Amino acid sequence: MLILEHYSLIMKLDILAFGAHPDDVELGAGGVIAKEVAKGKKVAIVDLTRGELGTRGSADLRDLEAIASSKVLGIEFRSNLGFRDGFFLNDEAHKLAIIKQIRKYKPTVVMCNAIYDRHIDHGRGSNLVSEACFLSGLSKIVTSYDGINQEAWRPEVVYHYIQDRFIKPDFVVDISDFIETKMNAVKAFGSQFYNPNSTEPETAISGITFLEFVASRAKEVGRPAGFSYAEAFTVERTIGVNSFFDLL
């Protein structure tokens, strides 16, 4: 497992965000992460692959970009499981690798990829992480990390951020004060997005219009809730509140 930022102290996290590729989390939930970090929450990112099949850049370059983006967001750490880009499976070995991360950091909230999307890794990664979160709570599944047996742990909730394909959200989060941070975190992946000096092939996400789309999507999902900018999520279980007024 590639560690992009290593911290020896094992901490309990408030949020553990998974992405099939470096930059997935920034595009889908970078604003929420920056907002929660500003509130003092402990947040980390785990990338499943190094994005080595990407048309532009390289895995080594994306490692460096992921570190730069993590510093923009202010997260505790970021790691990469080194799964095969495009070809990782939703099988026992991959689930166990994720379970070990969940049990190590005991997040209250897990965020992961959209339930379906343009890139085939996104939906597959979504299902993989979701299923691993459930299995992580089963004590008869035995795992160890650094030679130490781990306790079962199941996050309280799993939220799926929305990516390229529009999915009707179950809720949105106001990121109006953090849209600039989100966009700076995205732009840290300079090999993938708009760079007027790049000589690499153009892709569906390398033009300036894609960055405009990212900001416009945040406007689009925010507007119905009265927010200037928001990020949108789907849930796996009904959201319950104690009072009507919790929804105001």
Q: pLDDT tens, 63-87? A: 999 999 999 999 999 999 999 999 9
Measured in whole angstroms, the distance separating CA 37 from the mean position of its chain's CA atoms is: 14
Check: CB of residue 160 under 8 Å from CB of residue 126. Answer: yes
SS (H, E, C) the chain: CEECCCCCCCCCCCEEEEECCCCHHHHHHHHHHHHHHHCCCCEEEEEEECCCCCCCCCHHHHHHHHHHHHHHHCCCEEEEEEECCCCCCCCHHHHHHHHHHHHHHCCCEEEECCCCCCCHHHHHHHHHHHHHHHHCCCCCCCCEECCEECCCCCCCEEEEECCCCCCCCCEEEECHHHHHHHHHHHHCCCCCCCCCCCCCCCCCCCCHHHHHHHHHHHHHHHHHHCCCCEEEEEECCCCCCCCHHHHC
Identify whether 248 is part of a domain.
Answer: no
Residue 95 is predicted with a pLDDT of 98
Residue 171 pLDDT greater than 90, yes or no: yes
Categorize the per-residue pLDDT at 8 as very low, low, confident or very high, splitting at 50, 70 and 90: very low
- Tens-place pLDDT, residues 177-228: 999 999 999 999 999 999 888 899 999 999 999 999 999 999 999 999 999 9
As a whole number, mean pLDDT of residues 7-32 equals 90
Residue 1 pLDDT greater than 50, yes or no: no
Domains in the chain, number: 1
Residue 42 pLDDT greater than 60, yes or no: yes
Q: Which residue has the tokens 């343009």?
A: 118
Identify whether 247 is part of a domain.
Answer: no
Angle formed at CA 96 by CA 157 and CA 74, multiple of 5 degrees: 55
Identify whether 244 is part of a domain.
Answer: no
Identify whether 183 is part of a domain.
Answer: yes
Residue 31 pLDDT greater than 50, yes or no: yes
Average pLDDT, the chain: 94
Residue 110 pLDDT greater than 50, yes or no: yes
- Dihedral angle at the C-alpha atoms of 102, 132, 186, 161, nearest 10 degrees? -120
Residue 162 is predicted with a pLDDT of 98
Residue 29 is predicted with a pLDDT of 98
| Pairing outcome for strands 157-161 and 148-149 | unpaired
- Tens-place pLDDT, residues 119-170: 999 999 999 999 999 999 999 999 998 889 999 999 999 999 999 999 999 9
Identify whether 177 is part of a domain.
Answer: yes
Q: Which has the higher per-residue pLDDT, 8 or 173?
A: 173
Residue 6 pLDDT greater than 70, yes or no: no
**Domain CATH code at residue 226:** 3.40.50.10320
Identify whether 91 is part of a domain.
Answer: yes
Identify whether 163 is part of a domain.
Answer: yes
| Percentage of the residues of the chain whose pLDDT score is greater than 90 | 89
Rounded Cα distance, 147 and 191, in Å? 38
Please enumerate in sequence order all residues whose Cβ is within 8 A of that of 207, keeping only pairs 6 or more positions apart, or say none. Answer: 194
Residue 150 is predicted with a pLDDT of 96
- Dihedral angle at the C-alpha atoms of 213, 24, 107, 38, nearest 10 degrees? -50
Identify whether 245 is part of a domain.
Answer: no
Domain that holds residue 82: 2-237
Residue 3 pLDDT greater than 70, yes or no: no
